[in-house]
Amino acid sequence: MDFLFYMGDVFTPINFGLLLLGTVGGLILGATPGLSPTMAVALLIPFTFQLEPQQGLILLGAAYTSTVAGGAVSAILLKIPGAPANIATTLDGHTMAAKGEGAKALQLSFLASAVGGLFGVFLLIFLTPVLAQWALAFGPSHLFWLAILGVTVIGTLDSSSVVKGLLSGCIGLWLATIGFDDIMGAQRFIFHPAVSGGINVIPALIGLFAIPQVITMLTKGRTRSGAEVITVKRHPIRLAFVEVIRRKTALTIGTITGSIIGLIPGVGGQIAGLVAYDQSKKFSKESEKFGTGHSEGVIAAESANNAMVGPSLVPLLTLSIPGSPTAAVLLGGLLIHGIFPGPDLFMNYPQVAWTFIDSMLIGQILMCIFGLYIAGLAASVARVPHAVMAAIVLGLAVFGSYSVQNSMGDVYVMASLGLGMYFLERFGFSAAPLVLGLILGPIAEANFIQGSMIANATVGQATYFFTGWLNWFLILIVLASVSYSIWMEIAQRRYTTKDDAVAKEEALS
Amino acid sequence: MTDLPRNQHIVASGIIAAVGVTVAYISFTQEPADAFIFPRLISSVFAVLAIWTFGKAILGRTKVGNGISGEAMRNMLPGLIVMVVYIFWAAKGLGFYTATTIAFFIMLSLYDPAPHNALKTWAKRIAITAGFMLVMYGLFAQLLNVFTPREVFF
């Protein structure tokens, strides 16, 4: 029950103030189409430099939690998902709003988000120490395979094409090798002075997530969003509580589906919401009402995409393997404060780890309370013209990446990677595996080298890396994820037509 | 899949294949070899997958990625030029705040759907730019103490 011991730290004036700031800011950012949770967290990292580690993490964690929930506002009131995680919410949420039940849809969405989110954070609280103990047994070979697993699973499950997903992961792993080699001190792939010290993760993350969005906004030209904000009529919150309790099947399915999906590295929130929506429809006694403004659709989708948040951090906090792009950004936030997550995080930095987790717990409740009150404001912000949003994000990206080390080189790296990523995305490549490759590359290499040294002095490389049940278990998961994705592609269940591809890419952009 | 922009895919995957092969070549030829063990491992897979993707693009079997339409290119090009000039030259040459003010205002003027012949909209753009710069100055110069390159005007 360590989490209770550190609960008081969340309520110190600065910590609680940052939690409030992150929650309210995250709700507004989340409601803004085009600002994904990952990008919002990446842009916030430079603002945490001056803060204590736990304060920085509280701000980032609150922003992560509430951007996911805030996306529901624009999904419901504008029919534009604020983030990919809110795609499923649009299906019934906007129809409810169009029928004059906008307030009810928003209330249901935030209440379901809070229930799912709280369950997810409790899972994080109780699962993390257990897994951390287990992770202490991991040696270099296991950590090497785990890093490869992180890149492969995201590469195969998060991308529309297995080969392009894996290729994105390889590009990320290669980018991670640029700079000086840690062991020999040799120069590797230094083709410009800006990368002589290697590629700094924070500017890279800002570039990879922010710049493609800026360019995407520019491609729309001189157009207004065209979306009309539906005005909402008052709806008693008590009735929304009753409705959520009455729809417990959808809530349970959403919460459990989201939690399980969150634990699997690489499977994003949009999948959690859509799978939960689909499963709720199958188990519902009123399945024919789904898509016509049915409350179960909103409850299932929103409880799932917030239930995913807590579990998605389990691999990061226990094994230092980020399970999602946002977790990768949070890892960047930890690293700049000199904290390397892993099995001993809870022994070396218990206050930082538990205060962060506790703040996510309290953040879920704050998100629910504030979400209901600022939904109207958030929807108005969502109508800010693309031109203004693109210019703001570009300015923040430039200043943010410069402030990491006061270096123009970081700004050039940010811009180059961002421009490159935009074009890669247009040709079916994905940022998530590339980011994971960039983050996990040094972990994979360090453990590969360390493992090779141990192997050369003992049993030999093949035996060291390819024997033992844990090595085999991890290798089998890598192979299974690749095989599954290939099978899915062959079975023509993926996005094999241009319309499917366009629909997916438009939804994600 | 026949109607995706095949030529664009060939060019894009060709560039990636060229990068992949170059990275593999450098990894296998550079010394000291011990420093390149991991890059060799990665670059081998990188090169194979990149060539595979290039082959698929040539055969017209690319299934994902819509490429860039002419309209999207025309829309983004002015903004892209402003962005590149701002980041790669003006930010250092003119100073961060000066360059950002100019780039922000140009971007707003280029892409704002409001009419260009009304004085009110220009005043609004100037006000938005000034407001944004005030926030940026407050956040980065005052709150975070970030020392940016010397400004051309002050």
pLDDT tens, residue by residue, B118-135: 889 999 999 999 999 998
- Which residues does chain B have within 8 Å of residue A155's beta carbon, measured at their own beta carbons? none
B94 domain residue, yes or no: yes
**Tell me, what's the pLDDT at B51?**
94
CA–CA dist A172, A431 (Å, integer): 9
User: Nearest Cα to A398, choosing from A388, A408, A389?
Assistant: A408
Do residues B137 and B131 make contact, with C-beta atoms less than 8 angstroms apart?
no
B53 and B32: one domain? yes
B76 and B35: one domain? no
Question: CA–CA distance from A409 to each of A203, B12, B88 (Å)?
Answer: 10, 26, 10
B51 and B79: one domain? no
B94 and B133: one domain? yes
* B145: confidence class by pLDDT, cuts 50, 70, 90: confident
Do residues A80 and A32 make contact, with C-beta atoms less than 8 angstroms apart?
no
CA–CA dist A125, A357 (Å, integer): 7
Query: Half-sphere exposure (CA, 13 Å, Cβ side) for A27?
Result: 28
Number of Cβ atoms within 10 Å of the Cβ of A475? 15
**In degrees rounded to 5, what are phi and psi of residue A179?**
115, -155
B74 and B113: one domain? yes
B148 domain residue, yes or no: no
**Tell me, what's the pLDDT at B47?**
94
What is the extent of the structural domain holding B41?
6-58
B75 and B137: one domain? yes
Note the pLDDT tens digit of each residue in B74-105.
999 999 999 999 999 998 889 889 999 999 99
Check whether B2 has a pLDDT greater than 50.
Answer: no
Å between A501 CA and nearest CA of chain B: 6
Please enumerate in sequence order all residues whose Cβ is within 8 A of that of A5, keeping only pairs 6 or more positions apart, or say none: A354
- Inter-chain touch A387–B112, beta carbons under 8 Å: yes
| Cis upstream peptide for B32 (omega within 30°) | yes
The answer to whether B83 faces chain A, any CB pair under 8 Å, is yes
- Which residues does chain B have within 8 Å of residue A171's beta carbon, measured at their own beta carbons? 16, 46
B52 and B75: one domain? no
**Tell me, what's the pLDDT at A271?**
73
- Which residues does chain A have within 8 Å of residue B128's beta carbon, measured at their own beta carbons? 388
Question: CA–CA distance from B48 to each of A172, A178, A429, A462, B16 (Å)?
Answer: 16, 20, 16, 22, 11
B127 and B83: one domain? yes
Weakest mean pLDDT among A69-73, B19-23, B53-57? A69-73
Check whether B21 has a pLDDT greater than 90.
Answer: yes
B83 and B110: one domain? yes
- Inter-chain touch B75–A219, beta carbons under 8 Å: yes
CA–CA dist A438, A174 (Å, integer): 8
- Inter-chain touch A218–B80, beta carbons under 8 Å: yes
Best-predicted range by mean pLDDT (A463-472, B50-59, B145-154): B50-59
Å between B71 CA and nearest CA of chain A: 8
Our count of domains for chain B comes to: 2
* B1: confidence class by pLDDT, cuts 50, 70, 90: very low
B47 and B101: one domain? no
Check whether B144 has a pLDDT greater than 70.
Answer: yes
B94 or B60: whose pLDDT is higher? B94
**Tell me, what's the pLDDT at A33?**
67
Candidates B42, B67, B87; nearest CB to A177: B42
CA–CA dist A331, B3 (Å, integer): 41
B82 and B111: one domain? yes
Candidates B8, B35, B100; nearest CB to A186: B35
**Tell me, what's the pLDDT at B154?**
65
B20 domain residue, yes or no: yes
B122 domain residue, yes or no: yes
B50 and B74: one domain? no
Q: Specify which residues A180 forms β-bridges with.
A: A187
- Which residues does chain B have within 8 Å of residue A429's beta carbon, measured at their own beta carbons? 65
Phi-psi region of B147 (alpha: psi -120 to 50; beta: other; left: phi over 0): beta
The answer to whether B115 faces chain A, any CB pair under 8 Å, is no
Please enumerate in sequence order all residues whose Cβ is within 8 A of that of A203, keeping only pairs 6 or more positions apart, or say none: A400, A401, A404, A410, A411, A413, A414, A417
- What tokens does A431 get? 């940022």
- Which residues does chain A have within 8 Å of residue B44's beta carbon, measured at their own beta carbons? none
B83 domain residue, yes or no: yes
H-helix or E-strand containing A179?
Answer: strand A179-180
* B3: confidence class by pLDDT, cuts 50, 70, 90: low
CA–CA dist B148, A354 (Å, integer): 36
**Tell me, what's the pLDDT at A312?**
84
pLDDT tens for each residue of chain A, 509 residues long: 777 888 888 899 999 999 999 998 888 888 776 677 788 888 888 888 788 888 888 998 888 888 877 888 878 877 777 777 778 888 888 888 888 888 888 888 889 999 999 999 999 888 888 877 777 778 888 888 888 887 887 777 666 788 888 899 999 999 999 988 877 778 888 888 888 888 888 889 889 888 998 998 888 887 765 555 566 667 777 888 888 888 888 899 999 988 888 887 666 556 788 888 888 888 888 888 888 888 888 999 889 888 888 888 888 888 777 777 788 888 878 877 777 777 777 888 888 888 988 999 999 889 888 887 777 666 666 667 878 888 998 998 898 889 888 889 999 999 999 999 999 988 888 888 888 888 888 888 888 888 888 888 887 878 888 888 888 888 898 888 788 777 777 765 544 444 454 455 454 44
- Inter-chain touch A385–B3, beta carbons under 8 Å: no
How deeply is A348 buried, as exposed, middle or buried, from its count of CB atoms within 10 A (0-12, 13-18, 19+)?
exposed
B84 or B59: whose pLDDT is higher? B84
**Tell me, what's the pLDDT at A197?**
82
Candidates B64, B91, B113; nearest CB to A385: B113
